[in-house]
Amino acid sequence: MRAVEAVIERKGADSMDSVLYALTDTNAQVRYSAVSGALPLGLRLPDGTLENLAQYDRSHFVRMLALKAIAEVPGADNVQTRSMAQAALADPHPDVRAQARDVLATLKHADRPQGLSDTANLYKRLHAKQLSRNGRTWRRQP
């Protein structure tokens, strides 16, 4: 485990071969260390690697980390991430299901508009205009 982290730390971005080799190890801690060591360096694992780990790894720790990593990859495809998280809701381990719920909640929060939509702003202006025509002013209720 420490050996994998040491190789990743020493080689940095050139450690991809070592990471991929470690992901095939029978020891779950080695696979976990490979993923957790690669992520902070920004190593981009080959397409499908994290998805495969999230769905099929024998260790629930590795599945959780892979699912978290899928959601945190810069420029991640939200549709694919949502699909992976929804599939993980059926995982046999409760911690993986909890991670899936966290990912889905994060995606839902990110999808939420940050302010009033254009339609809501238009409605607010039209409503205020109508009230002023009737001799009343629009005020926000406390």
pTM comes to 0.73
DSSP assignment letter at 59 = -
CATH number of 2-116: 3.40.190.290, 1.25.10.10, 3.40.47.10, 1.20.1630.10? 1.25.10.10
Closest by CA to 98, choosing from 72, 70, 52, 61, is 61
Distance CA 32, CA 59 (A): 9
Q: Buried (b) or exposed (e) across 77-95, using 16+ Cβ within 10 A?
A: eeeebbebbeebeebeeee
Say what the pLDDT of residue 43 is: 84
pLDDT number for residue 55: 95
pLDDT of amino acid 131 = 61
Q: Which residues contact 127 (CB under 8 A, 6 or more apart)?
A: 138
Tell me the helix, strand and coil percentages in the chain, rounded to 5: 70, 0, 30
**Per-residue model confidence (pLDDT) at position 130:** 65
Per-residue tens of pLDDT for the chain, all 142 residues: 577 778 888 887 788 898 999 999 999 999 999 999 888 888 888 889 999 999 999 999 999 999 999 988 877 788 889 999 999 999 999 999 999 999 999 888 766 555 555 566 666 666 666 666 666 554 555 5
Q: Give pLDDT, residue 21.
A: 93
**How many helices (H) and strands (E) in the chain?**
8, 0
**The pLDDT value given to residue 128:** 65
